[in-house]
A and B are shown apart, each in its own frame.
Chain A
Amino acid sequence: MEAHAHGAAHELQIPYNVHPRPDTGLYNAKLGIWLFLASEVMLFGALFSSLILLRTGAPTWPRGWTFLNVPLATVNTFVLIASSVTVVLAWANLRLGNLKWGRLFIAGTLLCAVIFLVNKGFEYHHEFEMHRYPRTSNFMAVYFTMTGLHGLHVLGGVVVFLYFLFPGAKMWKTDRARYTNRIEVAGLYWHFVDLVWIFLFPTLYLL
């Protein structure tokens, strides 16, 4: 009876949590995150396409450079680039078996994300003080929609990294490889969020 129960539990175990599936070459979470990122590419792709259509169809289009807070956006650009470095360092340290440094770099990534959001808050506050709202113009509607959606993704990253920094880190004791894989997956998401900003910055603030 006990042997039967043990066998059933073994059958219920989800395969390919740590090791890649031979036919796809990916473990479950990595396949999942790439499917999710594919949907994200479509979402942001649609917004960028809308921007191009609105801009090419408009007789005049304001230049973000002349009134948006470019210095703050520049700081945010380098903050996000730094966060992509810290998340890779976190993953690399975990792969090498160093939880202490891994968690430290996750905390660094988290800090960068929070700095980005605080800066974005200052930027929005300035825009509202100048009475520039989404209803003001097509440009401002696009600006608030795209940077707002991107900001929500950064906030999502904050939640994910907070989880892996504190309660999620317990997995390190029971399944190191799986925890390291989870950080890799979170890092892939984070790189995508950073990549979106790399396109948003010149599109909205310079051109």
Chain B
Amino acid sequence: MSLRIFHVIFITLCIALSVYVAIWGVREFIASKSWSALGLTAVFVVGGAALVAYAGKAFRKLRDL
């Protein structure tokens, strides 16, 4: 497996982690009214969106490399 493929897998897993943490934060907020959990959700929603945008651009360029 090349670095290119490993990177694609890694970024995909990071997006999955972002989705997981975002959902976890919402559930934690509902259960314990923890605003810091909701803050974590916000951070990972923004981070996940940035990763999706990066993946959209970078994966195509990496394929041509």
Q: Which residues of A pack against B, CB within 8 Å?
A: 34, 65, 70, 74, 77-78, 81, 84-85, 87-88, 91-92, 95-96, 184, 187-188, 191, 194-195, 198, 201-202, 206
Contacts and interface: CB of A to CB of B under 8 A. Distances in A.
B40 A91 contact: no
Contacts, number: 57
Interface string B1-37: 1111011001101100100110010001000000011
B43 interface: yes
User: Chain B contact residues: over half helix, strand or loop, or mixed?
Assistant: helix
B45 interface: no
A199 to B, nearest CB: 9
Given A65-B28, A202-B20, A206-B21, A188 B14 contact: no
Nearest to A80: B14
B20 A85 contact: no
A201 B43 contact: no
A184 B58 CA distance: 17
A39 to B, nearest CB: 16
A84 B7 contact: yes
Contacts of A81: 11, 14, 47, 51
A191 B9 CA distance: 10
Among B3, B13, B58, B65, max chain A CB count under 10 A is at B3
B49 interface: no
B10 A188 contact: no
Given A74-B44, A85-B54, A188-B6, 10 more contacts: A84-B7, A88-B3, A88-B7, A92-B61, A187-B3, A187-B6, A188-B1, A198-B10, A198-B13, A201-B17
Interface of B: 1-4, 6-7, 10-11, 13-14, 17, 20-21, 24, 28, 36-37, 40, 43-44, 47, 51, 54, 58, 61-62, 65
User: Chain A contact residues: over half helix, strand or loop, or mixed?
Assistant: helix
B21 to A, nearest CB: 7
29 contacts: A70-B36, A70-B40, A74-B40, A81-B51, A85-B58, A87-B3, A88-B3, A88-B7, A88-B58, A88-B62, A92-B61, A92-B65, A95-B65, A184-B2, A184-B3, A187-B6, A187-B7, A188-B1, A188-B3, A191-B6, A191-B10, A195-B10, A195-B13, A198-B10, A198-B13, A198-B14, A198-B17, A201-B17, A202-B20
